[in-house]
Amino acid sequence: MQFFNEFTQTIINGVAIGCIYGMVALGFVLIYKSTEVINFAQGELLMLGAFIAYSLITMLHFPYWLALITTILAMGIVGALLERVVLRPLVGEPAYAIVIVTIGISYFIKSVVSMIPGWGTDTYGFKTPFTDKYVRSGELVVSWEYISIIAIALLLIAAVFLFFRYSRMGTAMRATSQNQLAAVYMGISVTRVFSLTWTIAAALGGIGGILLAPITFVHMNMGFIGLKAVPAAVLGGFTSPPGAIVGGLIIGITESLAGVYLPDGWKDIAAWIILIGVLIIRPQGLFGIQEKKKV
């Protein structure tokens, strides 16, 4: 019973953190699919989201839900601004150059955060309506905090998937990532598609930050945790949105199990071992398709 209890909790923790990795990975994948750029600032967008939520909740005393929605909107605006100011002028430059620019963006976000009064390099935290609440079922005890993370993440991920599957703009965004030239012939504004892609990716990163903060801390270096989403995205095939979520979950769960049942140190490399293992067996990743070459 003791083992069952611990095991269940470990899995739930892993799923919760895996959902966060998955969401951040989804941001990577969306940007990569439409612009062929790997956005290395995705982790810092998570960190920025956490700081914004922290300020709204502890300094401005926003209720949690309002803070959540406001942070999502604020991060969406940040994403749109980044696209407009930094990335749009670089359209047409080689992808590797733009990737380097995203590393620059990540340093920029970090230094801005370190300079803002009340933020800086200290460690903060905030409470949610779910902090220190537990569900009990017989011997089993599960924290509401983790359940709420899973529920909110799955809800928002579902919203993103429904948007891409059924809305006109979402379909247009998929169309643009498949055939940009044909999209232009349809009257789809590629600029608008790119802008919206960055908006959604930054919002996803920001949500990752709000959800992660209660179980870790709010800190300037939180972005490193967000970078765990890279192996998650690669595991899923890097061009597959569902793959990103599944990859995130696999890495979250593995890490969580390794943290409890393996000696110290394994936790941090578990993700990479799984990644290497999967890539040896399936070089295209779990959900990737072998590049279809036009002959």
Partner 1 sequence: MSVMLKVRNIETYYGPIMAIKGVSFDIEEGAVVTILGANGAGKTTILKTLSAIMDPQKGTIEFMGKRIDSLPPEKIVAMGVSQVPEGREVFHDLTVKENLLMGAYLRNDRAGIKRDMDMVYDYFPILKDRIAQLAGDMSGGQQQMVVIGRALMARPKLLMLDEPSLGLSPLLVKEIYGIIERINKEHKTTILLVEQNAPMALSIASHGFVLELGRIVMDDTCQALMANEDVQEFYLGIKEDSVRGTKRWKRKKKWR
Contact 186, 175 (CB under 8 A): yes
Q: Let me know: does 258 contact 271? Beta carbons within 8 Å.
A: no
How many residues of this chain bind partner 1 (CB under 8 A)?
17
One of 186, 269, 273, 276 touching partner 1 (CB under 8 A): 186
As measured in angstroms, the least distance from the Cβ of 188 to partner 1 is: 6
Eight-class DSSP state of 262 = S
The nearer residue to partner 1, 3 or 185, going by C-beta atoms, is 185
Closer Cβ to partner 1, 188 or 251, answer by number: 188
Please check whether residue 145 is in contact with residue 131, taking contact to mean a CB–CB distance below 8 angstroms: yes
Please state, in angstroms and rounded to a whole number, the distance separating the CA atoms of residues 79 and 209.
15
Nearer residue to partner 1 within complex by CB, 114 or 189: 189
84 binds partner 1 (CB under 8 A): no
One of 183, 201, 271, 275 touching partner 1 (CB under 8 A): 183
Distance in Å, CB of 190 to partner 1, minimum: 9
Is position 168 an interface residue for partner 1 (rule: CB under 8 A)?
yes
> Whole-angstrom Cα distance, residue 213 to residue 203?
15
Segment interacting with partner 1, rule: CB under 8 A, options 174-182, 206-214, 227-235, 258-266:
174-182
Please report, as residue ranges, which positions from 187 to 216 form the binding site for partner 1 (by CB under 8 A).
187-189
Q: Which is nearer to partner 1, 92 or 263 (CB)?
A: 92
What is the torsional sign of CA 225, 231, 237, 239? positive
Return the residue of 84, 174, 267, 282 that touches partner 1, per CB under 8 A: 174
Alpha helices in the chain, H assignment, sequence order: 2-35, 42-54, 64-82, 95-115, 144-166, 168-178, 180-185, 190-212, 223-226, 229-235, 241-261, 266-281
Q: Answer for the pair 211, 155: CB distance below 8 angstroms, yes or no.
A: no
Decide whether 121 or 189 has the Cβ nearer to partner 1.
Answer: 189
The answer to the question of residue 167 lying near partner 1 (CB under 8 A) is: no
Would you count residue 91 as binding partner 1 (CB under 8 A)? Answer: no
List of residues 6+ apart from 210 with CB closer than 8 A: 49, 50, 53, 67, 68, 71
Q: Is 182 in the site for partner 1 (CB under 8 A)?
A: yes
Closest CA to 10 of 231, 177, 253, 198: 253
* Site residues (vs partner 1, CB under 8 A): 168, 171-172, 174-175, 178-179, 181-189, 292
